[in-house]
Amino acid sequence: MLDGGASAASGLEKSLLDWYRRYQRPLPWRGEHDPYRILLAEVLLQQTRVAQAIPYYHRFLERFPTLEALGRAPLEEVLRVWQGCGYYTRARNLHRLARQTSALPPTYAGLRELPGLGPYTAAAVASIAFGEAVAAVDGNVRRVLSRLHAWEDPSPKRLQQSAQGLLEGALGYGSPGEWNQALMELGATVCTPRRPACSRCPLERFCRGKGQPERYPLPKSRRPKPIELTALILGGPMGVYLEPRSGGVLGGLWGVPMEEGPGGLERLLKRFGLEEARFVGRLRHDFTHRRLQVWVYQAPWARVEDPRRRPLSRLDQKILSLLDTA
Which string of DSSP letters, residue by residue, matches 191-237?
A: S-SSS--GGG-TTGGG-TTTTSGGGSSPPPP--PEEEEEEEEEEEET
163 shares its domain with 23:
yes
Q: Which range among 158-172, 211-225, 297-311 has the greatest average pLDDT? A: 158-172
pTM score, two decimals?
A: 0.79
11 shares its domain with 137:
yes
231 shares its domain with 209:
no
Buried b (16+ CB within 10 A) or exposed e, 150-179: bbeebeeeebbebbeebbebbeebbbbbbb
Please give the average per-residue pLDDT across 23-33, as a whole number: 95
Cα separation, 213 vs 146, in Å, equals 9
Please give the average per-residue pLDDT across 273-281, as a whole number: 93
Cα separation, 151 vs 158, in Å, equals 10
Cα torsion 163, 166, 167, 169 to 10°: value is 160
Whether 225 has a pLDDT exceeding 90, the answer reads no
Q: How confident is the model at residue 6 (pLDDT cuts 50, 70, 90)?
A: very low
- What is the pLDDT, as a whole number, of residue 52? 93
Catalytic residue IDs: 42
Question: Has residue 15 been placed in a domain?
Answer: yes
Kindly report which listed range (132-146, 175-189, 203-217, 286-300) carries the lowest average pLDDT score: 286-300
Provide the number of structural domains found in the chain.
2
Question: Has residue 297 been placed in a domain?
Answer: yes
33 shares its domain with 119:
yes
Please state the φ and ψ torsions of residue 236, each to the nearest 5 degrees: -160, -160
203 shares its domain with 95:
yes
Cβ atoms of 94 and 40 within 8 Å: the answer is yes
Question: Has residue 72 been placed in a domain?
Answer: yes
22 shares its domain with 165:
yes
Q: Which range among 1-15, 149-163, 238-252 has the greatest average pLDDT? A: 149-163
Question: Is 255 in a helix, a strand, or coil?
Answer: strand
81 shares its domain with 176:
yes
- What is the pLDDT, as a whole number, of residue 1? 45
Question: Has residue 220 been placed in a domain?
Answer: no
Q: Give residue-wise pLDDT tens across range 111-137.
A: 999 988 999 999 999 999 999 999 999
CATH code of the domain covering residue 240:
3.90.79.10
Domain hosting 249: range is: 225-325
Instruction: Name residue 43's amino acid.
Output: V
Bridge partners (DSSP) of residue 284 are 293
CA distances from 86 to 45, 91, 244, 251, 254 (A): 12, 9, 17, 12, 14
Whether 4 has a pLDDT exceeding 50, the answer reads no
- What is the pLDDT, as a whole number, of residue 288? 64
193 shares its domain with 251:
no
CATH code of the domain covering residue 179:
1.10.340.30
Residue where one domain finishes, among candidates 188, 215, 242: 215
Please give the sequence-ordered ranges of beta strands (E in DSSP) within the chain, or none if there are none: 225-236, 239-240, 243-244, 254-255, 258-260, 278-286, 290-299
Q: Which of 265, 237, 241 is nearest to 322 (CA)?
A: 237
29 shares its domain with 154:
yes
Residue where one domain finishes, among candidates 177, 196, 215: 215
Q: How far apart are the first and last CA of the chain?
A: 62
Q: Give residue-wise pLDDT tens across range 56-90.
A: 999 999 999 999 999 999 999 999 999 888 888 89
Average pLDDT score over the chain: 91
- What is the pLDDT, as a whole number, of residue 14? 94
15 shares its domain with 116:
yes
233 shares its domain with 126:
no
62 shares its domain with 208:
yes
Question: Has residue 38 been placed in a domain?
Answer: yes
Whether 233 has a pLDDT exceeding 90, the answer reads yes
Cβ atoms of 57 and 90 within 8 Å: the answer is no
Max intra-chain CA distance, the chain = 78
Question: Has residue 107 been placed in a domain?
Answer: yes
Cβ atoms of 108 and 133 within 8 Å: the answer is no
Residue where one domain finishes, among candidates 159, 188, 215: 215
